[in-house]
Amino acid sequence: MHLQALVNEAPDQRPETIAVAQAADDDVLRAVIQATQHNMAQFCLVGSVEEIKQRIAHLGGQTEHYTYVEARSEREACERAVQQVADGQAKALMKGLVSTSTLLKAVLNKEKGLRTQQLISHVAAFEVPGYDRLILVTDAAMNINPDLKEKAKIIENAVSVAHALGLNQPKVAPVCPVEVVNPAMQSTVDAATLSMMNQRGQIQGCTVDGPLALDNAVSQDAARHKGIQSEVAGKADILLVPTIEVGNTLYKSLVYFARAKVGALVVGAKAPIILTSRADSDEAKLYSIALAAHYAAFHS
Ligand code: COD
């Protein structure tokens, strides 16, 4: 599967609406216009409506393709966009020209936010040159230092993304520095426990096996050299990283060293959230919108 296929093959049903918090930004609007051209989603654009319309016209888009909600400040834009999703008018949320923390605070607001019983976590889908499948990395951007219980929920969220991509029984590798349990390394103890939780049916819809080091998780040769017998080794679909530091560094290494393509989502809230940043390429923004469209359609 290629990320471009998600763009080309928009979900069959009528495109869902994505609410964009502070859309008055050319980079964001370029992605919105492209996604509209691919019939991937409809958009409710929140922010200074006059400015948004002027920018759309300047970028060659059609202002009448969109709905609009006026908001005067960054906080108001986040709250109004979240409200669109909470009211069911939009099926996904997208970060525009606002800070991640302002948007996440609006999402996590107890009364008006998008919280569920589920943990909210970040899942990135990479297309890495030379690797034969899309590989999901989680959590590279939201949960800082998850404990065992949180790691189990982070896996469940990533599995829900994998299922939306057509991977029915994804292989999950909890990535550690070594492939044996070392009680001095909590990540290896958690990895072994998560594997047992999976065998006992406490984590479903996937196959979890670890601890695995990154090389044995993604290279069958490396796994063979170490004599590792595992259904997951060398064929991982999902890499669960132990901390945000590992995840964020892996994410950026894949993009900057390996020239991987990426799309990413935050899931576990009432609706998927697209947290693109300025540094993301136009392509990455479009892939993230495509992921959100497929996820929202699959789980609606
Ligand atoms: N899922 C569900 N509920 C959550 C989550 C979560 N992942 N995180 C917090 N909550 C709930 C808590 O239970 C609590 O009720 C409320 O939200 C506030 O919790 P705090 O006080 O921990 O929230 P914050 O605002 O201090 O922190 C939440 C952030 C997501 C902002 C924080 O975890 C964070 O800064 N994450 C890293 C973001 C980041 O810098 N990424 C870098 C790369 S993009």
> Residue 142 C-alpha to ligand 1 middle, in angstroms?
7
Tokens linked to 155: 């896996």
Q: Ligand 1 pocket check: which of 142, 144, 276 to mutate, most ligand atoms within 8 Å of Cβ?
A: 142
Q: Is 154 in the pocket of ligand 1 (CB under 6 A)?
A: no
Averaged pLDDT for residues 186-196: 98
- Centre of ligand 1 from the C-alpha of residue 255, in Å: 25
CB of residue 105 inside a 6 A radius of ligand 1: yes
Q: How far is the CA of 196 from the centre of ligand 1 (A)?
A: 28
Task: Specify the pLDDT at position 248.
Answer: 95
Instruction: Give whole-number Cα distances, 234 to 168, 222, 269, in Å.
Output: 18, 8, 31
Asked if residue 161 lies in contact with residue 295, where contact means CB atoms within 8 angstroms, the answer is: yes
- pTM equals 0.95
In ligand 1, which atom is closest to the CA atom of 110?
A: 15
Cβ(248) – ligand 1 distance below 6 Å = yes
Mean pLDDT of 49-72: 97
Q: Is any atom of ligand 1 closer than 6 Å to the C-beta of 31?
A: no
187, β-bridge pairs:
none
Q: Enter the tokens of residue 224.
A: 């063979």
Among 132, 167, 180, residue whose Cα is nearest residue 2? 132
Instruction: Name, in order, each residue with C-beta under 8 angstroms of 91's C-beta and a sequence gap of 6 or more.
Output: 16, 17, 18, 85, 271, 296, 300
Nearest CA to ligand 1 atom 34: 142
298 C-alpha to center of ligand 1: Å? 26
- To the nearest whole number, what is the mean pLDDT of the chain? 95
38-47 residue pLDDT tens:
999 999 999 9
Helix or strand or coil: residue 213? strand
Rounded-to-integer distance, Cα 219 and Cα 227, Å: 12
Per-residue pLDDT, 276: 84
Nearest-CA residue for atom 41 of ligand 1: 141
pLDDT of res. 9: 84
* DSSP 8-state secondary structure symbol assigned to residue 272: -
Question: What Rg value do the Cα atoms of the chain yield, rounded?
Answer: 19
Between the CA of 293 and the centroid of ligand 1 the distance, in Å, is 24
User: What tokens appear for 22 in the block?
Assistant: 């502070």
Residues facing 93 on adjacent strands: 19, 273
Query: Which pLDDT tens digit goes with each residue over 205-252?
Result: 999 999 999 999 999 999 999 999 999 999 999 999 999 999 999 999
Inform me whether the pLDDT recorded for 10 exceeds 80: no
